[in-house]
Every structure is written in C-alpha cells, then in structure tokens.
Amino acid sequence: MTVLRSSSRIRGAVLPLALSAGLLSALTACAADPDEGTNGVGRLDATAIEQKAQSAADAAKAVRLSGTLVSKGGTYKLNMRLKQDGASGSVTTKNSTFELLRVGEALYLKADAAFWEHEDTPSKNPSGSGSGSSDTRTGSESGSESDSDSGSDAGSEAADKLDDKYVKVPEDDPAYKQLRGFTDMDLLLDGLIGLHGDVVKGDYDKIGGIRTVKVKGGEDGEGGSLDVSLQGTPFPLRFARAGGAGVVILSEWDKDFPLAEPSKSQTVDYGKQLPRT
C-alpha cells in the first residue's frame, strides 16, 4: 500500500533542512572571512597593520595606559591618563605608590608620609643642616644618638607635612626628568608600540570586547606583540613588551579629561630640591 504525503508534510520536512543549510552557509562565510564588518585592517600584511596602529597612536589626543613595565630600575605598575599637555594617575613600585599630576611643564608628586619618611630625608631647610660645624664630642656615644634622633625627628616632621599633599617637583631636581617620563604621552607610546625583528601577523582576538588582530615581532612574539583594533580607528589596544618586560593595556583613546593645578591648600612647596628618598 502506497502512502502519499500531503504537501504540508513535505514542506514541514524540507523547511528545517533549508534552515540548517542556510545557517551552515552563514557560519562558513563568517569562518572564511573574519574581517567581515571590520575596519579592514586585518586584511593587510603585518607591516602595514603595525604602521596603521603607529599612525593612529601618533595622531591621538589622549589615552589611558595601564599595566606593568619592567626595566633595569625595577618593576612599575602604571595607571595613567595621558594627553599632549599633561597627565594624571598613579605609579606603583615594589615598595610604594605615588600619584603624578602634570599640567604643562608643572609636575606634582603626591604620596603618603611613609613614602617621604627616609633616614636621608633632609629637613625643611637643608641649608641649615650644620654644614661646616665641628662636634667637640668626637667618639661620644650620646652625641651620636642625639644626632640620629634629631635627624629622624626632622625626617618624620617633614614627612608629616608632605603626607597626602601635592609637592611641586622643581625642574632642576634630579627626579624631575625620570618622573616626567611617566607623564609624557609621546615618550611612552614611542617606547611601547615598536616591535623588534621580522613582523608577522598573528591571531584574531578580543580586548575589552573589541575585536583585534595581533602582529608580532618574530614568529613566537619574542620581539613583542601588539593587538590592533578591528573596529573604528585601528588603535593599539594591548602591547606585550619584548623579553617579558611587561604588558600594558591602551584604552580611552581620544577621550579628553580635565587637568588643573592643585589649589594652594593642597600643595606644599618644599623648595629647590625634593627630599632624598
């Protein structure tokens, strides 16, 4: 006995097959072209992608940089907002955390008393530290203890005055150049984005929900790696430095932020040179 299916039953059987075929086709198309719906940078070769990222960074007006940098001087954790005429944020070292604020060329350092308290910290008036004086009690234990206590008290007193205050860093102070480097957008980006060795194209990924393509210095990224945005402007979004010298995230590109010098009530003028710390 032959059973004839109705047209509706045939359509019911064919429709799921058609939907499955359509879905498979769509998935195949996506897999075949990962750059569909992007800014097209992923279609370029590695060198061109790196150049696009460099050009985008050079033209940017602002950026947030957060992550870890390793250098001969130690390991630094940065969380800085940067733009051409200044910056604000924090730097953490092995032993301390301090804030930096730069408005134009005026650079301010803010930290707690523990940061400032140091046995070599000069008093408020270092020129009055007894230079040229003679201690007639040479070899006296009590005199040595007295001097030590006096220096410690002076250091603690100075640290208390500087606690949680902005201290303006004099431009001729030895620390000015080093500290300013943490606030210089061009200097930091120039030192971060460049790759070493032959540049090769890496995998696709996502950084903060944004699709990216990776370019690497060397096949294994031994010369550093850079993740470049595939959405909108091809900004660099993550950089892993060569030799395991840190990883930084670059975000908030071209997002402006206010900069203003602290009020007098928030500021302490320490003079021509910072405490030695």
Tens of pLDDT along 22-50?
A: 555 555 544 568 889 999 999 999 999 99
- Considering the chain, what is the average pLDDT of its residues? 79
Confidence band (pLDDT; 50, 70, 90) for 162? confident
Question: What residues does 67 pair with on adjacent strands?
Answer: 78, 248
Give phi and psi for 259, each to the nearest 5: -135, 130
Domain encompassing residue 95: 63-187+257-268
The reply to whether 24 falls in a domain is no
Q: Which residue has the tokens 């060329």?
A: 105
Can you give the length of the chain in residues?
Answer: 277
234 & 262 share domain = no
In a domain, 35, yes or no: no
Task: State the Cα–Cα distance between residues 185 and 183, nearest whole angstrom.
Answer: 6
- Tell me how far apart the alpha carbons of residues 159 and 271 are, in angstroms, rounded to a whole number: 14
User: Residue 162: which residues within 8 A CB-CB, separation 6 or more?
Assistant: 111, 113, 116, 268, 270, 275
* pLDDT surpassing 70 at residue 161: yes
Specify whether 78 is located in the same domain as 149. Answer: yes
- For the chain, how big is the Rg over CA atoms in Å? 30
Please indicate, yes or no, whether residues 67 and 154 belong to a single structural domain of this protein.
yes
CA 186 to chain centre: 13
* pLDDT tops 60 at residue 202: yes
Check residue 155 and give its pLDDT: 54
How many domains, in total, are found in the chain? 2
Q: How many CA atoms lie within 13 A of 248 on its CB side?
A: 27
Confirm whether pTM is higher than 0.75: no
Q: Are residues 55 and 89 in the same domain?
A: no
| Domain match, 125 and 262 both | yes
Do 201 and 133 share a domain, yes or no? no
